[in-house]
Chains A and B, each alone.
Chain A
Amino acid sequence: MDGRIGARTRALPDSRFVAVSCGSLLDDVLRPQPTPAGLTSRDIVRKSIGFDSPDRFPYSFIEPVASDFFETALLHWRGYFEQGESLALGTRYLDDWNVQREVSSGLFDRVLTSPLRDLSQLGKYSYPDLAAPEHYQVYESLFAKAQDAGKYIVAADPVLLFERIRDLVGFEAMLLAPFKQRNGFESLLDRLTDLTLACLDQYADAGEVDAFMTWQDFGAQSGLIISLDVFREFFQPRIARIIDATHRRGMHFIWHCCGEISSLIPEAITMGVDVLQLDQPRLIGHAALAERCAGKICLWNSVDTIWSSTPDLSVGALEAEIEAMTAPFRCGNGGFMARHYPQPDDIVVPDFFHSASRRAFLK
């Protein structure tokens, strides 16, 4: 690993459990951050999520690494990358889910064939054993170290309901499936939900985990990918089940969602999502986000990734942007956490971006 979080590690012959073999990154992640006396990073994050007047904005910065969080996703994330990581661009392979992929330049390899386009074949489908205890043994020592360092521990959802169903069924077929293959679609959703809950149990057994984080992009640039009715009928009950289970284990539920998802924010609040993690806050607007979220759901946002790639971006503009993002939350109640986008290779930002944004967030 080259020390930058999010960089792919194709060169490693066996990149499983990167954290174990990557001492320097782990040390960076575990390095304590400045906190008021008697408080840990974990306390500050929890106060922010609980709207309990934290002393500063919690943060997770990547260049250089400085974070109140310990995120398993940054170190090792089962289910997506393992098999493609050591392969050359363009190589085709079957992933753990029997999805045929082609190694691509971005973080997620391109899907070539989806094994469950015809959901009548669901009975014959073999699911990967993502909840096998041996996959989680590595986390026991890591979580203990993170806890000792006072970090807020975030466990990554390896199933990713909506993302996975898109890969397994195929994008276009997935849009039709609620109407054309309803029974199979619901069965698959239930099975993936059960698998998510089993993984959640394994994380909980591995240590004191503070949050379970999922990445499910329901938004395109101009609106939801599926209708709100389909979300409410098919996805909302399953996600709510996962959230309830997360809360029963004493964890927060963090939801990363790309796109223009303003219509999902009330749903997220109703379902009990604790933290909404947005990388494109400009699609909704900073004022609108503050109005909808303040006091109800905590935000853990990056500077808008598309805006960040604007040619001729200046330090002044970046500072003004961060002021607009954070001003509604500077009154002291909490509800905002700062983040650098963790896949810097996928966006083009100016050299000053990470240091200047870090300074502005900490101001």
Chain B
Amino acid sequence: MNFKERMLTAMNHEEPDRVPVMGLIMDPATVDQVLGKNSTNVVKFLDKPVVGRAVQKLLDSNWFWDRMYFKNFSGALESATRLGFDANWAIYAFMQIYKGETNQKGAALNDVFGRVWTMGTDDRGNLSVDYSQALCPTEAAWEAWVEEKSALFDRVIRNATSFHQMLVDAHGDKIMPIGYAAPGIFENSWQAIGFVDFTKLVYENPQFIKRVVEFQTDFYLRYLEGVMQPGVEIVLGGDDLGQKTGPLMRPDLIEKLYGESYRRVADLVHSYGRKFVFHSCGKIYQFLDKFVDWGFDGIITMEPTADMDLGRVREQVGHKLVLIGNLDVSHLLVKGTRDEIDAAVKKAIQDAARGGGYILSAAHSHPYVDATRLQWMVESAHEHGRYPIRGS
């Protein structure tokens, strides 16, 4: 079996030759470690008077972001191929220099949806980009923002389509690029407004929130079509519904606000004959039945640090969902020993891989994830993941 057959067999809840392994490589630090390169962290130049202005200009150009994202994910796919992964995710984003007021340090960027991202440097010198501010806390601000950015939404879709096309063309014969359409409808709606204001407006101005969700749903469906156009066969949708302690919002409220949107998402992806895997961080046991009901094919992350136990998830959903992830990125894939990684891989396979429907991967990515440990994870999966799965 080749990588593609292996992935698609597992996605159909059938047993391939061995458990597929998917990479979540995206951080330049990991890519550089695998490819032996040294990326330049542009943020550190922002304080320089002349170079800083040039970097600001660069960060404000569509050309830069398109090139930077392609280069980064091309490197990620190359890295994942070298490490022996069967697939790796790829995410496109569109940013501009934020020209409004902010009291954040570092470079402030805004996306097309109305949120500010702060680009900074972590304590190891790695580039970090964090959501930091909502730009549309009121109905009037949101309406004005959407009108101002109306021309950009189609451009974002075109750019994303071309981004995924280039990755498929460049790497599709060696590894499966997984199209990650993120952020999703939930995040694009609440993060532009801010969590506190959003949760209040759900009750105080439900018609406005309904309009926001409808707008984001319509956009997202078109975005997904753009991602699928290049032949991406497995699509990830990204919406973190959970936090470490449980759902960010009550599941019945999520159902009321977003249930129909998520059903439309699954229906659309299926109408193209593709598979839809939902990415949600956090403790999400309470959503598992909803994921099945909404028509999702699989879920990814299942963070062990959010108390997500792969065996418990499999027990709860059976083979109604493909499970991807669960390998810890707080310790295991950062500082874990080879024995620890071997034991975690064996446990994950025992917990979830019988009958297919499990794709082994890290729970997430971040710059401290160590490429050597990723390689150990892949090697361990190759050794212990041969079907039929044996052992207790």
Contact = CB atoms under 8 A, between A and B. Distances in A.
A227 B244 contact: yes
A205 B133 CA distance: 43
Interface string A99-124: 00000010000111000011011000
B247 interface: yes
B351 interface: no
B247 A172 contact: no
A171 B245 contact: no
Contacts of B134: 172
A110 B200 contact: yes
B307 to A, nearest CB: 10
B196 A111 contact: yes
Interface string A171-190: 11100100010000000000
Given A111-B196, A176-B130, A222-B251, 10 more contacts: A120-B105, A171-B195, A172-B132, A173-B132, A224-B244, A224-B245, A224-B246, A226-B245, A227-B245, A228-B244
Contact of A110 (B195, B197, B243, B251): B197
B103 A172 contact: no
Interface in B223-270: 243-251
A221 B132 contact: no
Given A117-B103, A118-B105, A172-B195, A222 B286 contact: yes
Contacts of A225: 245
A222 B247 contact: yes
A133 interface: no
Interface string B130-172: 1111100100000000000000000000000000000000000
A32 interface: no
Interface in A174-222: 176, 180, 220-222
Interface string B192-218: 001111001000100000000000000
A89 to B, nearest CB: 12
Interface string B288-329: 000000000000000000000000000000000000000000
B275 interface: no
Contact of A228 (B137, B196, B245): B245
Contacts of A223: 243, 245-247, 283
B104 interface: yes
Nearest to A227: B244
A56 to B, nearest CB: 36
23 contacts: A110-B200, A117-B103, A118-B104, A120-B105, A171-B195, A172-B133, A172-B194, A172-B195, A173-B132, A176-B130, A180-B130, A220-B246, A220-B248, A220-B249, A222-B246, A222-B250, A222-B286, A223-B245, A223-B283, A224-B244, A227-B243, A228-B244, A228-B245
B285 to A, nearest CB: 11
Contacts of A173: 132
Contacts, number: 56
Nearest to A106: B200
Nearest to B251: A222
A118 B106 CA distance: 11
Interface of B: 103-105, 130-134, 137, 194-197, 200, 204, 243-251, 283, 286
A103 B194 CA distance: 18
A350 B243 CA distance: 35
Q: Which of B243, B244, B245, B247 has the most CB of A within 10 A?
A: B245
Contacts of A110: 197, 200
Q: Which of A118, A221, A263 has the most CB of B within 10 A?
A: A221
A110 B193 CA distance: 13
Q: Which of A110, A121, A172, A227 has the most CB of B within 10 A?
A: A172
A58 B286 CA distance: 37
A260 interface: yes
Contacts of B283: 223
Interface string A320-355: 000000000000000000000000000000000000
Contacts of B251: 222
B104 A171 contact: no
A132 B248 CA distance: 39
A188 to B, nearest CB: 15
B100 to A, nearest CB: 13
A171 B196 contact: yes
B194 A171 contact: yes
Contacts of B246: 220, 222-224, 260
A121 B103 contact: yes
A346 to B, nearest CB: 11
B133 A118 contact: no
Contacts of B286: 222
A78 to B, nearest CB: 23
B195 A263 contact: no
Closest 7 pairs (CB-CB, A-B):
A223-B246, A223-B245, A227-B244, A224-B245, A222-B246, A222-B247, A118-B103
